[in-house]
């Protein structure tokens, strides 16, 4: 089971590192590499599935159709509206899929638009899947019997434009000639603001238009049945204020054509979905704490103001209900995701708007797996959603140890490691990381994995001089200043308990060791004074061998990192506004002089429906210039580490089968005790994956 891992406020910062300052790097011809950890993402083996809505029990897995193709991460699907058929046909013709188009079998194929992350690049795809609708069991049509391929698959956006290539895409919908979606490709580098905006691309011409005003972030677009209006959840220009449980958004409506006539229709709401041209369903956390579906009735005549909109709660308290989906074919029910006090898993259900009754679907099929973000076919006969393809707690044979990601900087190859707090040995031949519990080393090719420590520990660092010595902080993460956490050193090649040495002795919270380049000293942060400040101690004897305070103040200084030339210690600090959750990057000389701020924290909110919707990897020059964003995705990327040499830009698989789909829903959804539900367990803080949650 994956742990509570509330790392964001420490780790999403710009962390210059022990092995290169970009401007001192003279090996640019060969370049360098960065390895980082991402909360959950290598467990998100999502595919899109579908169930018929009109089925009589018993419902079984035989009713479920897998629509997407497996090898990538596929999520947030949408059944295109029939009005998009002409555009899709001409697109397919142009893609020399003409034959397919003109040999369409009857019944027509299942059509799907969705987000797909392939080799770390997200794009929006269109798939047609040929299946036999007439039988009760799923059955994918074969080319041999129908003279068509089983699947037609077309990326809908041309990412050749490099600016567009590495960016996050989300929530596509297709109506008429236009694909409407979220993208983060216009990055202005403004701290703590989001680059998520809604765009429309005309399928026939590829012409893309931004619909979101500059300085505003829009998420979750939904196009009205006529195609005329688009509704979005929007986050203003004021910047992110740091609430992870709910990124409070308002709902706006504008003309799909050009983004004009933009007007706020609902204060405090997310995930809008049109019932008809004047009805929107959305979710919000109600005053009784239950997430619920609400309905907004817009006046027929414009202009609209929030006062003229009538809002009604649709779903009852007693369970969490979110991410509504409507269908034009039948306005009497909506599809929703729920968290019931009786289940630790998120499931798709139908909700009858007349009888106020739920009809469970996915819990009857795969009870032990989360199901996310339903969407309905326009004839209301099918509901789609995404879930892990492995089912509950399966093991995955193709799980990646190191995922190579496309890098916008040709001098840096980028890798996501399936392990937290990575650091690489000075010779580059071993990676240390932590799991929960445990400290491990592994070769970059996946061989020779060894557990070095079996307790709870976080952060790892190698001594640059003394071969095979690593440091870690042993104890609970995110603990108070007075909780005992100790810096320990571990001799990687040692054979018995004597290989582990405790370096701190004061029984307070000591963490994030980083050794000096001569291997003699360790800088770390400690809560011993009542505040988390920085200290330097002897690397071999620990604080017994010498201890010096480096910073002093009633704020938090943390995650220090000694520069390769020994001149600087970089660290994160909230000294500008203590306890705000907003950390900035500082540097100081090891003798305590020369303190300066490098850069304000730059946490762009990528995504509102994710546990920690921020945390991307950046590089920055020491004078604060040339900020480059290296990652764009809906996950929390953190704890980057430079690698002493460039690693070949290829994926590396685990050599053994590893647990896949091993993540949990947002932990606060499990705690239903405060509002009358059963108290479920609070372990695990992860939340749902892309589009998983909010």
Tell me the torsion sign for CA atoms 256, 260, 264, 268: positive
Residue 591 contacts by C-beta under 8 Å, 6 or more apart in sequence?
Answer: none
Q: Does residue 197 contact residue 186 with C-beta atoms inside 8 Å?
A: yes
Q: Segment 424-453, which members bind ligand NAG (CB under 6 A)?
A: none
Peptide bond into 137 cis (omega under 30): no
**Numbers of helices and strands, H then E, in the chain:** 6, 49
Binding mask 192-211 for ligand NAG (x = CB under 6 A): ------------x-------
In the set 27, 505, 577, 623, which binds ligand NAG (CB under 6 A)?
Answer: 623
Stretch that binds ligand NAG, among 89-97, 189-197, 232-240, 415-423 (CB under 6 A): 89-97
Nearest by Cα to 44 from 653, 577, 694, 692: 692
Residue among 216 and 585 whose Cβ is closer to ligand NAG: 585
* Distance separating alpha carbons of residues 649 and 32, to the nearest angstrom: 11
Q: Tell me whether residue 62 or residue 595 sits nearer to ligand NAG (CB atom).
A: 595
Contact between 593 and ligand NAG per CB under 6 A: yes
**Tokens of residue 608, six digits:** 């509102």
Which range, of 30-38, 366-374, 585-593, 646-654, touches ligand NAG by CB under 6 A? 585-593
28 contributes a contact to ligand NAG by CB under 6 A: no
- Give the HSE-up count for residue 319: Cα atoms under 13 Å, Cβ half-sphere: 21
Q: Which is nearer to ligand NAG, 577 or 623 (CB)?
A: 623
Q: How far is the CB of 408 from ligand NAG (least distance, A)?
A: 19
Non-local (6+) Cβ contacts of 31 within 8 A are 410, 411, 412, 413, 646
Residue of the chain from 448, 625, 673, 681 that contacts ligand NAG (CB under 6 A)? 625
Min dist. Cβ of residue 623 to ligand NAG (A): 4
Q: Cβ closer to ligand NAG: 26 or 496?
A: 26
The span from the CA of 410 to the CA of 30, in Å, is 10
Binding piece for ligand NAG, criterion CB under 6 A, among 86-94, 158-166, 213-221, 259-267: 86-94
Least distance in angstroms from the C-beta of 568 to ligand NAG? 8
96 is an interface residue for ligand NAG by CB under 6 A:
no
Q: Is the CB of 241 or the CB of 626 nearer to ligand NAG?
A: 626
Give strand pairing partners of 50: 65, 384
Restricting to residues 270-309, name those near ligand NAG by CB under 6 A.
none
Count of other CB atoms within 10 angstroms of residue 38: 23
- Closest CB 113 distance from ligand NAG, rounded Å: 16
Interacting span for ligand NAG (CB under 6 A) from 56-64, 113-121, 158-166, 618-626: 618-626
Answer whether 200's CB lies under 8 Å from 182's CB.
no
Q: Are strands 457-462 and 450-453 parallel, antiparallel or unpaired?
A: unpaired
Draw the binding track, 537-576, toward ligand NAG (x: CB under 6 A; -: no contact).
------------x--x--------------x---------
Question: Judged by CB, which is closer to ligand NAG: 307, or 565?
Answer: 565
Q: Is 23 in the site for ligand NAG (CB under 6 A)?
A: yes
Task: Decide if residue 85 touches ligand NAG (CB under 6 A).
Answer: no
518 binds ligand NAG, rule: CB under 6 A: no
- Pick between residue 290 and residue 586 the one whose CB is nearest to ligand NAG: 586
Q: Return the number of the residue (625 or 673) whose C-beta is nearest ligand NAG.
A: 625
Q: Measure the N-to-C terminal CA separation of the chain; round to a whole number of Å.
A: 21
**Whole-number minimum distance, CB 442 to ligand NAG, in Å?**
34
Residue owning tokens 């980082």:
36
What is the signed CA dihedral for 251, 252, 256, 257, rounded to 10 degrees?
A: -170
Cβ 120 to ligand NAG shortest distance, Å: 26
What is the maximum span of the chain, computed from C-alpha positions, in angstroms? 80
Q: Is 90 in the site for ligand NAG (CB under 6 A)?
A: yes
- Does position 334 interact with ligand NAG (CB under 6 A)? The reply is no
CA 330 to chain centre: 33
Q: Which residue has the tokens 């701020």?
A: 597
Give all strands of the β-sheet with 652-653 in edge-to-edge order: 637-643, 32-38, 412-417, 400-405, 652-653
Reported as half-sphere exposure (CB side, CA atoms, 13 A), residue 382 has a value of 23
State the sign of the Cα–Cα–Cα–Cα dihedral 338, 344, 347, 353: negative
- Binding-site size for ligand NAG (CB under 6 A) equals 14
621 binds ligand NAG (CB under 6 A): yes
C-alpha to C-alpha distances, 689 to 420, 605, 665, nearest whole angstrom: 17, 15, 9
Stretch that binds ligand NAG, among 33-41, 87-95, 217-225, 572-580 (CB under 6 A): 87-95
Q: Which is nearer to ligand NAG, 259 or 560 (CB)?
A: 560
Which residues contribute to the site for ligand NAG (CB under 6 A)? 23, 90-91, 94, 204, 549, 552, 567, 589, 591, 593, 621, 623, 625
């Amino acid at each position: 089971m994956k742990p509570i891992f509330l790392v964001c406020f420490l780790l999403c910062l710009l962390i210059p590192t022990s092995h290169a300052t970009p401007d001192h790097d003279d090996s640019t011809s060969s370049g360098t590499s960065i390895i980082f950890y991402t909360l959950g993402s290598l467990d998100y083996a999502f595919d899109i599935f579908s169930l018929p809505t009109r089925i009589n029990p018993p419902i079984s897995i035989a009713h479920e159709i897998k629509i997407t193709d497996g090898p990538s991460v596929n999520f947030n699907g949408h059944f295109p509206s029939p009005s998009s058929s002409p555009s899709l046909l001409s697109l397919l013709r142009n893609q020399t899929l003409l034959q397919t188009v003109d040999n369409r079998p009857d019944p027509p194929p299942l059509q799907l638009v969705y987000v797909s992350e392939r080799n770390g690049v997200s794009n929006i795809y269109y798939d047609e899947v040929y299946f036999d609708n007439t039988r009760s069991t799923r059955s994918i049509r074969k080319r041999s019997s129908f003279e068509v391929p089983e699947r037609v698959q077309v990326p809908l956006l041309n990412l050749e434009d490099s600016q567009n290539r590495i960016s996050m895409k989300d929530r596509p919908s297709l109506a008429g000639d236009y694909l409407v979606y979220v993208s983060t490709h216009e990055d202005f580098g403004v701290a703590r603001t989001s680059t998520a905006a809604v765009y429309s691309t005309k399928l026939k011409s590829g012409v893309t238009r931004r619909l979101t005003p500059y300085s505003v972030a829009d998420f979750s677009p939904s196009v009205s049945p006529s195609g005329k209006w688009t509704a979005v959840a929007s986050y203003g220009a004021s910047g992110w204020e740091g609430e992870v449980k709910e990124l409070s958004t308002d709902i706006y409506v504008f003309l799909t054509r050009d983004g004009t006539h933009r007007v706020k229709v609902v204060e405090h709401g997310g995930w809008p979905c049109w019932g008809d041209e004047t009805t929107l369903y959305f979710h919000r956390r109600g005053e009784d704490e239950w997430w619920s579906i609400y309905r907004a009735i817009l006046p027929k005549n414009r202009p609209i103001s929030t006062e003229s909109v009538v809002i009604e709660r649709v779903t009852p308290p007693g369970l969490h209900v979110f991410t509504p989906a409507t269908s034009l074919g039948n306005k009497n029910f909506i599809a929703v995701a729920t968290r019931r006090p009786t289940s630790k898993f998120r499931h798709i259900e139908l909700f009858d708007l007349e009888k106020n009754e739920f009809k469970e679907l996915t819990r009857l099929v795969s009870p032990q797996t989360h199901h996310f973000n339903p969407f309905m076919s326009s004839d209301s006969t099918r509901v789609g959603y995404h879930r892990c393809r492995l089912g509950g707690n399966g093991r995955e044979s193709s799980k990646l140890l190191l995922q190579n990601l496309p890098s916008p900087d040709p001098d840096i190859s980028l890798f996501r490691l399936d392990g937290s707090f990575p650091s690489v040995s000075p010779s580059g031949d071993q990676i240390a990381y932590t799991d929960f519990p445990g400290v491990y080393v592994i070769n970059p090719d996946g061989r020779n994995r060894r557990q070095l420590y079996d307790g709870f520990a976080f952060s790892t660092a190698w001594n640059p001089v003394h071969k095979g010595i690593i440091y870690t902080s042993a104890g609970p993460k995110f603990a108070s200043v007075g909780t005992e956490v100790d810096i320990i050193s571990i001799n990687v090649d040692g054979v018995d308990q004597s290989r582990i040495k405790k370096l701190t002795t004061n029984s307070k919270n000591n963490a994030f060791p980083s050794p000096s380049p001569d291997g003699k000293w360790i800088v770390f942060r400690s809560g011993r004074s009542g505040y988390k400040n920085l200290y330097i101690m002897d690397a071999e004897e620990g604080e017994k061998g010498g201890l010096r305070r480096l910073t002093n103040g009633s704020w938090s200084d943390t995650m220090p990192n000694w520069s390769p030339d020994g001149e600087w210690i970089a660290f994160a600090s909230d000294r500008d506004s203590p306890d705000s959750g907003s950390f900035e990057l500082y540097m100081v000389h090891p003798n305590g002089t020369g303190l300066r701020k490098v850069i304000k924290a730059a946490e762009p909110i990528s995504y509102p429906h994710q546990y920690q919707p921020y945390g991307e990897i950046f590089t920055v020059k020491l004078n604060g210039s040339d900020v480059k964003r290296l990652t764009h995705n809906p996950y929390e990327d953190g704890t980057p580490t430079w690698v002493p040499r460039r690693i070949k830009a290829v994926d590396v698989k685990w050599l053994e089968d590893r647990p896949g789909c091993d993540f949990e829903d947002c932990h606060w959804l499990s705690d239903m005790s405060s509002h009358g539900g059963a108290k479920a367990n609070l372990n695990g803080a992860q939340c749902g994956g892309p589009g998983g949650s909010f």
